[in-house]
Structure 1
Amino acid sequence: MNLAFIPSPSTGVLQLGPIPLRGYAFSIIVGLFLGLWILNRRWVARGGKHGTSWDIAVWAIPFGLIGGRLYHVITDYQLYFGEGRDWVDSFKIWEGGLGIWGAVALGAVGAWIGCRRRGIALPPFADAVAPALAVAQAIGRWGNWFNQELYGRPTDLPWAVEISEGANRVADTYHPTFLYESLWCVGVALLVIWADRRFRLGHGRAFALYVAAYCAGRGWIEYMRVDEAHHILGVRLNVWTAIIVFLLAVAYFVVSAKLRPGREEIVEPDRDAETAGTDGAASASDAPEKDVGADGDQPEADSDPLKKTARKQDPLKKDVPERSAPEKDVPEKSAPGEDAPDSDAPDSDAPDSDAPAKDSAPSEAADKG
């Protein structure tokens, strides 16, 4: 008799007054909330907007739950539609029965819808959700412990789980395959996070790595289980599914790495457009009303002596001052930088000592006219 083992709860339901708290549903809910927290952090770290991942998850989670339940009911239809069975039990999701294959497949459809509504490509979102999904699975698997299901062959190992006597089972200790899968999912999450940081995985390759790594573990864990399942060529159906999905994930990883290496620079266009619009509005509000120079500074009127000189030298822009006395011209002061009048030129105010005053005035007036 095995003296060391993991005990199973006597019941999978805890009554909180009139409200039943089922361990299976509680495990899934806790896993979802922790997964959403991880997803949001990874999405923001990859350049996305805070809260966008939750908006997409609103579509992905219901689709995933429906897909997981459909896969379970279809592959184990004899539990609900066989002789002496009640088909209504197929809707009792709280009693257990979610297939991860259907959950991921149909959940991806819901995520695709949510991404399209936000103008986001699906591959970068899938890369962000990959380790979050693995963590959610790791916690959700403990729901099988509450329901005393999905165990392996009998064993006397100290970490064996005790299963009480029930329908189609006897009281004994078995391999806790739910625990094996839970620990494997934690390892998958750590692997994806490390590889994503080390190699900057993008374009869906982080998600492909998660799928391939999970399938590798699910194959040998599934092989240990003894619960009722369909077989093809003597092998459980889920083992075949794990093999096929593993090969598809590896093929996608290799082809994607060759065709689209690196990681996406922009994962959420709405955020970049929003930022650009804000910057553009700020630039427009800060711009001066008058024209600015090439260096970006607004010129002040007559503050540059060189420009002032240029305007004075331009005969079209030169303002001719009014003369108080028509018979006498007052010379203007030369502006800074303006060439001083030639010292050899005759002075208009002083008569030339060699020429009579009457002859010099008309001649100078003609030159200035």
Structure 2
Amino acid sequence: MDGNDSASLSARRKRTRDQVLAILAQHSSGLTRAGLSRMTGLSASAISDCVASLRSSGLVAESAAGTGGATGRGRRATVISLVNDEGVVVGIDFGHAHVTAAVATTTGELLERRADVLDVDHRPGPVMDVAAELARSCVERSGHTMDDVLGIAAGIPGPLDIRTQVVRPPTILSDWVGLAPAAELARRLGHPVTIGNDADMGARGEQAYGAARGLEDFLYIKASHGIGAGIVIGGRPYRGATGIAGEIGHTQIPDAVNWCRCGSRGCLETVVSITTVRRQLAHVLATHQTALDESAIPPLFELSDNPAAARVLTEAGRTVGRVLADLVNCLNPAALVLGGELGSAGEPFAAGIRESVARYAQPASAQAAEVITGQLGAEAEVRGAVAAAVAATRQRLTAVS
């Protein structure tokens, strides 16, 4: 076997191990070898080789199944499950106006969660301090210490250069430009940190624990103060050459003229954002006797039955859907998973997106792309950070073994 064949075999085995570990992480009670073969599409021999390797690495355990698990001539089936490490992982989500931290087991079970409301965009130093304190507090309240932490991951709401791990200039998170968030958090927490874009983390959360489970090709749309897309192709996140793929909030909208924070006019997020939509809702929900303050608007999903509010949300969906239709034509995803405050607004927003995708995307691609609301809501990004921390931990342990 020459060097190329050996490298190809090694890469294939690594993909198999990663695939099996990812499936087992979603099934805390374990799976039989036959179940693993069915869910991964791998042959019985490939599963057998992979399980043997993972057992020798200490990553999985094999135990007898309960009653009813017999196979063949009365031989009882065995169940493969991830070894429950005694340690924990930490996920951190930076929004534009909040920081959330969570602690979970290595199977993704949440143990503790804390959040704080603050201005994230303009005070990166103090924001990092708050995030570190929230993470330490979560670890302590879960009954663990920082010595028990096996992995940490975080998502930020802006462009991060994956080559340098530094926030890119010159637009979103302008006060963060030149900052290396992973290094800053690692210095405060004493552990290496995996960092990524918040929309990518949201996609990862829905893929591991929510509406995108089992999907190989989908877009996660985080529609909130900004609008970004987490792109998953072939089961893996697509980040582009430098890590800033998916910044759809800065797509130009015809006839839109408002200035955007990126320095351009007419970007999607100047027309559709949670701030803009709340302002519109405050106007249509006001009575001739009483003006309505934006802060008094109830959660958007409670407004679906209000005809005027539903019109606002549907029109917002149509505008976002016009941009998504081009992505549907280019990428042919199986689903558009909606997240963020707007994405969680319910059927009117989703219906507007469906309408535009059906109208502007090619019919075959539009028919293939199901528009669905995410299952995790505001937790998608922090759950995605947990999933990223689990994956980084598994990758490190596998590499060591």
Same fold (TM over 0.5): no
Q: Which of 1 and 2 has greater Rg?
A: 1
> Could you say which structure has the higher strand fraction?
2
* TM-score (normalised: structure 1): 0.22
> Could you say which structure has the higher helix fraction?
1
